[in-house]
Amino acid sequence: MIIPEKDCAHKSDEQLVSESLKNSEYYLCLIKRFESKLRNYIMKISNLNIQDAEDILQEIFIKTYRNLNDFDCTYKFSNWIYRIAHNTTISLYRKKKNSDLELSWEKNELENILQTTLKLEEKHYNQSSYENILKIIEQLPIKYKEVLILKFIDGKDYKAISDILHKPMGTVATLINRAKKILAKELSKKGITVK
Amino acid sequence: MKNLSEQVLKQIKEDNIKPKPRWHFVLKNYFIWLLFGISIILGCLAFSMILFMVIQLDWDVYQYVGDSFLKTLFISLPYLWLLFLILFIATAYYNFIHTKRGYRFRFITIVLMSLFISVMFGTYLYFNGFSENIENIFFKKIPYYNILVYTCEEQWMQPEKGLLAGTIVGIEFSEHSIELIDFNNSHWQVDTSKSIIKGNLQLSNGLKIKMIGNMIDKAYFQAIEIRPWKGQRKMLIKNK
């Protein structure tokens, strides 16, 4: 029996978890809710190509389903599934670090991260600067790249990032500040100055 | 792009994948807390042993034997138990961060909390005589334990440096002389004519004492200061 989408629409993620435990068809609604967000997240932190990202996403959803009973309702489901995505991606990323990777940033996402983390001078908002900036972001150590993505692309707050990365909130704040400093330093080496 | 959601659901059905039962996770969580608890208890035990070993030593004798305080400290620290304390605190930290909410705490907070518990309960164990009993058991049951720790017996069995301890087996008050058997079962004649007695001490047969003085020859010792042997601990001899 396929669950109509309207049946899921008014339910929270947490309600869908408990429905999925009774009837696996409800799990489809959870997958649909998180599929695109997680695909985007995986590709950005790992630079994996779309095919690898799809495979890993499938693995994440299966792993999540197997562990549904471990979900603690005092947490947000989105943080919990991001945590599984983070772990699974990092473990695969380590294996595939030097294989076929590709960049997966949209122009508006890049602009968003630049506007919220660093205040670039107007003259640098052009294609050539973007390409340089993108290369710098892609080369950042994964621990810095993922906090920037979670904070400025996925719009997660410090508590959510702490739950996803399993790091204290103070450490998350430190990582974000360090990531900004490294980004600014690397940009200045390329002649891209911040205000 | 393939329809991922339907593909996942299809795989769940075809492979008959089921969510793991809740008890599996509850048990795992309890197990982690249990390991954390065991690590903390062992940390308390390690601290109580450190306290016992540090307190049982006489930290003022270095000035009589001509060693520096730093050298005495270096020789006397209970490295074995310090190592165990570090190990158990590290194990407690590892288990704590693997509990459901453990990651929310900073490294330093968890370590200090574990250390605080170890110090509090370790001190309680020490004052209840637990560490003394444990050490007596370890000396008897654990092979080579005696060479891994530095005890007050070892500290006071250095007659060539002027430190000697043992049990009085004979007293000649008129000649200011006592006969003593040390921890290695060697007999000593001790001249007490120029000695002072520290603490509330009445020399008598069977009494355990420790002395600072000079070794005149391999069976003759001149005492300068006589002290009572601390505590009720059995005299445990090191087998080297």
Cβ contacts of B6 on chain A, cutoff 8 Å: 28
Res. B240: pLDDT tops 50:
no
| CB-based contact, A73 to chain B, within 8 Å | no
* Domain containing residue A177: CATH number: 1.10.10.10
Res. A93: pLDDT tops 70:
yes
Q: Taking CA atoms, what residue in A is nearest to B18?
A: A66
Q: Taking CA atoms, what residue in B is nearest to A21?
A: B19
Which pLDDT does position B70 carry in this prediction? 85
Q: Are residues A146 and A92 in the same domain?
A: no
- Decide if B234 is inside a domain: no
Q: Are residues B39 and B126 in the same domain?
A: yes
**Of B118, B148, B178, which closes a domain?**
B148
At residue A124 the predicted structure's pLDDT band, cuts being 50, 70 and 90, is low
* Domain containing residue B183: CATH number: 2.40.50.140
**Of A96, A119, A144, which closes a domain?**
A96
Q: What is the arithmetic mean of pLDDT over A149-175?
A: 93
Q: Are residues A136 and A77 in the same domain?
A: no
Res. A154: pLDDT tops 90:
no
- Tell me the percentage of chain B whose pLDDT exceeds 70: 94
Which pLDDT does position B216 carry in this prediction? 92
Which pLDDT does position B39 carry in this prediction? 97
At residue B234 the predicted structure's pLDDT band, cuts being 50, 70 and 90, is very low
| CB-based contact, A103 to chain B, within 8 Å | no
Q: Are residues B140 and B223 in the same domain?
A: no
Which pLDDT does position B146 carry in this prediction? 80
Q: Which of B8, B20, B97, B108 to mutate to test the interface with A (most CBs of A within 10 A)?
A: B8
- Decide if B14 is inside a domain: no
| CB-based contact, A59 to chain B, within 8 Å | no
Count the domains in chain B.
2
pTM of the model: 0.80
Q: Are residues A16 and A79 in the same domain?
A: yes
* Domain containing residue A89: CATH number: 1.10.1740.10
| CB-based contact, A31 to chain B, within 8 Å | yes
Q: Higher confidence at residue B190 or residue A97?
A: B190
Q: Taking CA atoms, what residue in B is nearest to A167?
A: B103
Q: Are residues A91 and A119 in the same domain?
A: no
Q: Range of A122's domain?
A: 107-189
Output the 3-class SS for chain A: CCCCHHHHHCCCHHHHHHHHHHCHHHHHHHHHHHHHHHHHHHHHHHCECHHHHHHHHHHHHHHHHHCHHHCCCCCCHHHHHHHHHHHHHHHHHHHHCCCCECCCCCHHHHHHHHHHHCCECHHHCCHHHHHHHHHHHHHCCHHHHHHHHHHHHCCCCHHHHHHHHCCCHHHHHHHHHHHHHHHHHHHHHCCCCEC
Res. A17: pLDDT tops 90:
yes
- Decide if B119 is inside a domain: yes
Res. A100: pLDDT tops 60:
no
Which pLDDT does position A30 carry in this prediction? 93
Q: Are residues B213 and B137 in the same domain?
A: no
Q: Which amino acid is at B30?
A: Y
Which pLDDT does position B239 carry in this prediction? 40
- Decide if A63 is inside a domain: yes
Q: Are residues A16 and A90 in the same domain?
A: yes
Q: Higher confidence at residue A117 or residue B124?
A: B124
Count the domains in chain A.
2
CB contact under 8 A, A27 and B7: no
Res. B55: pLDDT tops 80:
yes
Q: Are residues B83 and B167 in the same domain?
A: no
CB contact under 8 A, A31 and B20: no
Res. B65: pLDDT tops 80:
no
Res. A128: pLDDT tops 80:
no
Q: Are residues B166 and B122 in the same domain?
A: no
At residue B235 the predicted structure's pLDDT band, cuts being 50, 70 and 90, is very low
Q: What is the arithmetic mean of pLDDT over A106-110?
A: 68
Q: Are residues A80 and A10 in the same domain?
A: yes
**Of A96, A129, A156, which closes a domain?**
A96
Residues in chain B: 240
Q: What is the pLDDT of residues B113-139, one digit of tens each?
A: 999 999 999 999 999 999 989 988 998
- Decide if A123 is inside a domain: yes
Q: Range of B58's domain?
A: 22-148
Q: What is the arithmetic mean of pLDDT over A88-103?
A: 68
* Whole-number Å distance between alpha carbons of A9 and A63: 24
Q: Are residues A21 and A92 in the same domain?
A: yes
Chain B positions with Cβ closer than 8 Å to A: 1-2, 4-9, 11-13, 17-22, 24-25, 97, 100, 103-106
Q: What is the pLDDT of residues B93-116, one digit of tens each?
A: 999 999 999 999 999 999 999 999
Q: Which amino acid is at B236?
A: L
Q: Higher confidence at residue A123 or residue B99?
A: B99
Cβ contacts of A70 on chain B, cutoff 8 Å: 20, 22, 25
**Of B94, B113, B148, which closes a domain?**
B148
Q: Higher confidence at residue B29 or residue A94?
A: B29
- Give ipTM to 2 decimals: 0.78
Q: Are residues A43 and A113 in the same domain?
A: no
**Of B86, B120, B148, which closes a domain?**
B148
Q: Higher confidence at residue A170 or residue B2?
A: A170
Which pLDDT does position B231 carry in this prediction? 54
Mean pLDDT of chain B: 88
